[in-house]
Amino acid sequence: MGEKLETMIVEGGHRLEGEVQISGSKNAALPILAAALLTNEQCVIEHVPFLSDIVEMLAILRCLGCEAEHRSDGSVVVQAKDEKPITAPYELVRKMRASICVLGPLLARRKRAKISMPGGCVIGVRPIDLHLKGMAALGASLDIEHGYIHAEALELKGCEMFLGGAFGSTVLGTGNVMMAATLAKGTTVIENAACEPEVQDLAMFLNTMGAKISGAGTHRIVIEGVEELHGAKHRVIPDRIEAGTFMAAAALSDGDIIIKDARLDHLMAVLDKLSEIGVRVKRLAPENGLERVRIIAAKNYKACDLITLPFPGFPTDLQAQFATILCLVPGISLITEKIYPDRFMHVAELNRLGANIRKESSTIIVQGVDFLSGAPVMATDLRASAALVLAGLVARGETTIEQIYHLDRGYDRIDDKLRALGAQIRRA
**Is residue 132 located within the same domain as residue 264?**
no
CB 274 within 8 A of CB 295: yes
**Is residue 262 located within the same domain as residue 351?**
yes
Position 287 scores a pLDDT of: 95
219, 235, 251 - which closes a domain: 235
Q: Residue 112 in 3-state DSSP?
A: strand
**Is residue 115 located within the same domain as residue 131?**
yes
Number of structural domains in the chain: 2
Q: What residues are paired with 357 via a beta bridge? A: 366
Output the pTM of the full model: 0.96
Q: What is the CATH number of the domain that holds 409?
A: 3.65.10.10
**Is residue 400 located within the same domain as residue 335?**
yes
**Is residue 223 located within the same domain as residue 290?**
no
Task: Collect all residues with Cβ–Cβ distance below 8 Å to 61 and sequence separation of at least 6.
Answer: 33, 34, 36, 37, 68, 78, 102
Parallel/antiparallel/unpaired status of strands 17-21 and 256-260: parallel
235, 270, 302 - which closes a domain: 235
Q: What angle do CA 382, 270, 250 make, to 5 degrees?
A: 75
**Is residue 113 located within the same domain as residue 144?**
yes
How many other CB atoms sit within 10 Å of the CB of residue 142?
A: 17
Closest CA to 247 of 233, 234, 264: 264
Q: What residues are paired with 76 via a beta bridge? A: 45, 70
Angstrom CA distances, 392 to 121, 143, 300, 384, stand at 22, 46, 20, 12
Q: Which domain holds residue 130?
A: 26-235
pLDDT tens string 156-204? 999 999 998 777 789 999 999 999 999 999 999 999 999 999 999 999 9
Radius of gyration for the alpha carbons in the chain, expressed in angstroms and rounded: 21
**Distance separating alpha carbons of residues 80 and 43, to the nearest angstrom:** 9
Position 124 scores a pLDDT of: 52
**Is residue 193 located within the same domain as residue 251?**
no
**Is residue 129 located within the same domain as residue 148?**
yes
Position 117 scores a pLDDT of: 85
**Distance separating alpha carbons of residues 327 and 330, to the nearest angstrom:** 8
84-107 CB burial, b ≥16 within 10 A, e <16: eebbbebebbbbbbbbbbbbbbbb
**Is residue 61 located within the same domain as residue 198?**
yes
CB 272 within 8 A of CB 226: no
- Those residues of the chain that have pLDDT short of 50 are 1-2, 123, 125
Residue 362 CA to chain centroid, in angstroms? 21
Residue 55 CA to chain centroid, in angstroms? 15
**Distance separating alpha carbons of residues 415 and 280, to the nearest angstrom:** 24
Specify if 346 maps to a domain: yes
Specify if 1 maps to a domain: no
Position 97 scores a pLDDT of: 79
**Distance separating alpha carbons of residues 137 and 142, to the nearest angstrom:** 11
Specify if 150 maps to a domain: yes
Active site residue 63: no
Specify if 2 maps to a domain: no
Specify if 385 maps to a domain: yes
Position 1 scores a pLDDT of: 46
How many other CB atoms sit within 10 Å of the CB of residue 147?
A: 10
**Is residue 309 located within the same domain as residue 227?**
no
Task: Collect all residues with Cβ–Cβ distance below 8 Å to 418 and sequence separation of at least 6.
Answer: 16, 249, 389, 393, 425
The single residue of 66, 121, 195, 327 carrying the catalytic annotation is 121
Specify if 361 maps to a domain: yes
**Is residue 215 located within the same domain as residue 298?**
no
187, 202, 235 - which closes a domain: 235
Q: What residues are paired with 231 via a beta bridge? A: none
- 3-state SS of the chain: helix, strand, coil percent to 5? 35, 30, 35
Specify if 77 maps to a domain: yes
Specify if 254 maps to a domain: yes
- Label residue 44 exposed, middle or buried (CB < 10 Å: 0-12, 13-18, 19+): middle
**Is residue 263 located within the same domain as residue 214?**
no
